[in-house]
Structure 1
Amino acid sequence: MKKAIYIVIIFIFFNISGLAQSPGLIQNRKHSEKVSFQLINDLIIFPMQVNGVPLSFILDTGVRKSIVFNFTDEEEEAANLKEVERIYLRGLGAGNSVEAYKSFNNVFKIGDLVNPNQDLHVIHNSNLDFTPRLGVAVHGIIGSDLFKDLIVEINYSRKYLRFTEPEYYNKKLCKNCESIPLEFHKDKPYINASVKINNKIIPVKLLIDSGGSDALWLFENPQDGIVCNNAYFEDFLGFGLNGSVYGKRSKIEAFYINKFELKNPNVAFPEVSSVSAAILIEGRNGSLAGNILKRFNMIFDYNNEELIIKKNSNFKARFQYNKSGLELAHDGFHLVRTLENIVPIGQSDNGSEGLGVNNTKVIINPWYKVTLRPIYKIVELREGSPAEMAGLEIGDILVKLNGKETYRFTLQELMAKFFDEVGTTIKLQVIRRGREINFKFKLEDVFKTKKP
């Protein structure tokens, strides 16, 4: 069973003024465009062109404007951004506003969907480059301005997006679907749901945030009964626009959205200082993010303020935590030479000989293939975790996991090993300052130690 892997990408509060964008024009007879996406760490990553330059973006319902934070000089030059002005943006994190550049009149293209006259914000900040953490190229995030004038279907189970012009949308009856009213604040969608904490069912207003890969964020409020129980651990929750965000990770008894119930979902309680701007939004209690959203296929209809959801094959997947305490990131490539035996028929100047069928001479020549393979490095290490207690350190380069070379795995496949069952043995070989060192530890329940 596929394990949940989290990484939080936090751009859930922007105070950016601007004019409404032009609606998309889908240049085909169906007036509808379907595009496949990758689901990486419960984030939707899809290809899109900006002024003719092919890039990859995260679909983020939790923001309004589109942002690029990983432009190479060549890509930025090719995109030929025009009418650029300097601005300052405010988001999550306790730091200062960040400098950005706002570009007008850009053309966004997704297949046959062409969306002209789009604003684009460019941030030159290496801390916001999530490519190493995700293991795939990501150039930025796309906000609601791209699709708020379209009907947008997100099919998490089959991994595709479908954009349809409203006047050509044929709404189908669905007996297993639920229709949920949407509320909007600065063009961002909110829903009303409920959580169960300490045997009490509490109504909550949540931002729908497809740009976050946690399950649920809640803002602690003892007056409303929204509190973290004593089974939690302190953790890094993600990078905000204005700095890192920390908080508590725990579980609640249940989450309810209309008739659907999810038991014991993961929850994060961010520090108040990092989300103070978001808390100011009237009635908001937190965010609903990718690890819950992926359990439904959904249709956003912004014009009619409606969200239609239907549970999918991910619905019953267990909510898991990383039981190792370490986080990996892609750290470039290295050359790996692998031996491949090629068996030609005939004579060779080197190699070993043997007799084949009918006394045919077979020469086996060793051929070496040199390829680029990914390097994975430890970038986070939770205090008191099994990995830290075993002696691993931030900066260690993983060479082998349970006897297998790590370059044979994707980043997601490696991380999934750390979400396995409690008691599973993990053997790691790492390179530290030029030396190969072996470590071994067992995965532990993250809530094993109760906090006072």
Structure 2
Amino acid sequence: MRIITSDQFKVNYYYLMKRVVLLLWCLPFFCGAQKYHLPKGEKYQKIRFELVNNLMIIPIEVNGTELSFIFDSGVSKPILFNLSNQDSIQLKNVTEISLRGLGTGEPVKALSSKGNTFKIGDGWNNRQMLYVILDKELNFSPNLGIPVHGIIGYDLFRDFIVDIDYASRVIRFYDPELYSYKKRKNSETLPLAVRSKKSYIEGTVTYEDRDHVPVRLLLDTGSSDAIWLLEDEAKGLEIPDKHYEDFLGRGLSGEVYGKRTKINNIQIGHFVLNDAKAAFPHLGAFDLVSNLDDRNGSLGGELLKRFNIVFDYPNGKITLKKNRYFNTPFQYNMSGLDLQHNGLRYIAEKITNGQGVLLEKEKSFGDVQILFENTTRLSLVPEIIVSGIRAGSPADEAGLQEGDVILAVNGRSIYKYKLQEVMKMLNEKEGKRIQVLIERYNTSLKFSFVLKDIFK
């Protein structure tokens, strides 16, 4: 999306990120009073979202252009990125700034823009501030498999009571003055602390010989991971003996690595989640984060999606109700492969019947098909490549390499599937044999390996 500012400053595209644990802590930045409104007399706006890699993707109109945003409770102001030159979006009152966040790199350059109009359903804010990331390397879309243009969080949580139904993939933004609490079976309402535009909840974790260690956790719907814990020997938070080094994601200021592990359980209120997936990020990744607010870690989408949640920032409360995902086993990358989209490729298939037509699916990375009757069908489809391999993993030992193009998994051509479905094929269950057909330097190669539980 081509951006044209009111000062005629033009910004061309930005492409973001290597993998998808989405963790952005930005500098607080104020620009006067701004607030979201609902049409007079309406109690709420209902918005449907896509759930991709444990992240909520919602549609928002920015200055008349519809964009897709990750709904991220860990971010203060909206951030735009991944903009192409197909359309134009007018931004107002632009200045250049730097943003700091997670990672071991330097602050990133960005634009700050004031006075923008954001619409979510029939709700609106005519004085929304936003940032635009200028780093071409920051791009969530290849890792999620769908176009994503930005992230948004605190301003919506501040102005509404936010009811998230992960099971039905619906969010309701309620006017706080018109919202009335109802008794919800098997639910619990707990205190919610809101500081520095972020929300926190209390809980306990149990692992190895540590029993019910109290923790204060950031609620981060913009992280696709389950639980992060910050190593602190004085508080009883030490790295378990059973762990492995893993790439946890990329923050605003660079890559984040840490120790991947499993804990016996985590308890929030009366809810207990057993055999929970956890990670201890290297503490150097937080060097540029100005205020950790005494947090001991964070809860991300893989854990939060197990509840339907009512966030009530205005009154400092949160209501949790377990849903159909509650007892779903936590997902581990047993193959050791990370994948991402890498542009488009043509494939040719023999057909017996057909019409000479051109088909295109909207909001995808390609899927253009040209059919020639009784001959061959040429399709332009997304190309999926290996973006990373964990050292010592089954895929690494089998000989797969970063940059390999994935063609098929267990005999199934992967162009027919979404990126997250392909990842699921590669990590279905312990002991399963996986056969992968890849292309490397214009040569097709086949590899085979067995998935294994690294903690056994």
Residue 194 of structure 1, CA deviation = 1.0
Question: Partner amino acid for 2:429?
Answer: E
- 1:421 equivalent to 2:433? Answer no
**Counterpart position of 1:114:** 124
Alpha-carbon distance in 2 for matches of 1:269, 1:277: 18
Alpha-carbon distance in 2 for matches of 1:407, 1:49: 31
CA contact (8 A) 2:109 2:135 kept: no
**Counterpart position of 1:202:** 213
**Counterpart position of 1:406:** 414
> Equivalent residue of 2:331, what SS?
coil
- 1:34 equivalent to 2:46? Answer yes
Structure 1 residues 28 and 438: CA distance shift in structure 2, 3 A: farther
Question: Partner amino acid for 2:118?
Answer: F
**Counterpart position of 1:447:** 455
Range 23-32 or range 38-47, more displaced:
23-32
> Equivalent residue of 1:415, what SS?
helix
CA contact (8 A) 2:68 2:149 kept: yes
- 1:136 equivalent to 2:146? Answer yes
Q: TM-score, normalised by structure 1?
A: 0.89
Give 1:9's match in structure 2, choosing from 22, 26, 35: 22
Question: Partner amino acid for 2:352?
Answer: N
Give 1:237's match in structure 2, choosing from 216, 225, 248: 248
**Counterpart position of 1:267:** 278
Gaps of 5+ in 1: 1-5, 345-364
Give 1:384's match in structure 2, choosing from 370, 373, 392: 392
Question: Partner amino acid for 2:126?
Answer: P
**Counterpart position of 1:432:** 440
**Counterpart position of 2:326:** 315
> Equivalent residue of 1:173, what SS?
coil
> Equivalent residue of 2:303, what SS?
helix
Residue 30 of structure 1, CA deviation = 2.5
Question: Partner amino acid for 1:431?
Answer: E
**Counterpart position of 2:16:** none
**Counterpart position of 1:370:** 378
Question: Partner amino acid for 1:439?
Answer: F
Question: Partner amino acid for 2:392?
Answer: G
Residue 20 of structure 1, CA deviation = 5.4
Alpha-carbon distance in 2 for matches of 1:437, 1:40: 30
Question: Partner amino acid for 1:423?
Answer: G
Alpha-carbon distance in 2 for matches of 1:125, 1:326: 25
CA contact (8 A) 1:23 1:150 kept: no
> Equivalent residue of 2:125, what SS?
strand
Higher Cα radius of gyration: 1
Residue 201 of structure 1, CA deviation = 0.9
Residue 308 of structure 1, CA deviation = 0.9
Gaps of 5+ in 2: 1-18, 356-372
Alpha-carbon distance in 2 for matches of 1:160, 1:314: 15
**Counterpart position of 1:213:** 224
> Equivalent residue of 2:158, what SS?
coil
- 1:98 equivalent to 2:116? Answer no
Give 1:51's match in structure 2, choosing from 48, 52, 63: 63
Alpha-carbon distance in 1 for matches of 2:158, 2:387: 37
Residue 71 of structure 1, CA deviation = 1.6
Alpha-carbon distance in 1 for matches of 2:270, 2:232: 25
Alpha-carbon distance in 2 for matches of 1:106, 1:146: 15
Question: Partner amino acid for 1:130?
Answer: F
Alpha-carbon distance in 1 for matches of 2:248, 2:143: 13
Seq. identity, %: 41
CA contact (8 A) 1:24 1:147 kept: no
> Equivalent residue of 2:351, what SS?
strand
> Equivalent residue of 1:148, what SS?
helix
Question: Partner amino acid for 1:10?
Answer: L
Query: Once superposed, what is the RMSD of the aligned Cα atoms?
Result: 1.7
Alpha-carbon distance in 1 for matches of 2:205, 2:451: 29
- 1:288 equivalent to 2:299? Answer yes
**Counterpart position of 2:182:** 172
- 1:65 equivalent to 2:89? Answer no
Alpha-carbon displacement from aligned partner over 1:11-66 (angstroms, at most 9, x marks no partner):
0x222231454221123653311111111010001111110111101000011111
Question: Partner amino acid for 1:217?
Answer: W
Structure 1 residues 385 and 279: CA distance shift in structure 2, 3 A: farther
Q: How many positions carry a matched residue from both structures?
A: 420
Structure 1 residues 433 and 296: CA distance shift in structure 2, 3 A: same
Q: TM-score, normalised by structure 2?
A: 0.89
Residue 98 of structure 1, CA deviation = 1.0
Question: Partner amino acid for 1:133?
Answer: N
- 1:123 equivalent to 2:133? Answer yes
Runs of 4+ in 1 over 4 A off after TM superposition: 277-280
Residue 129 of structure 1, CA deviation = 0.1
The structure that is helix-richer by fraction is 1
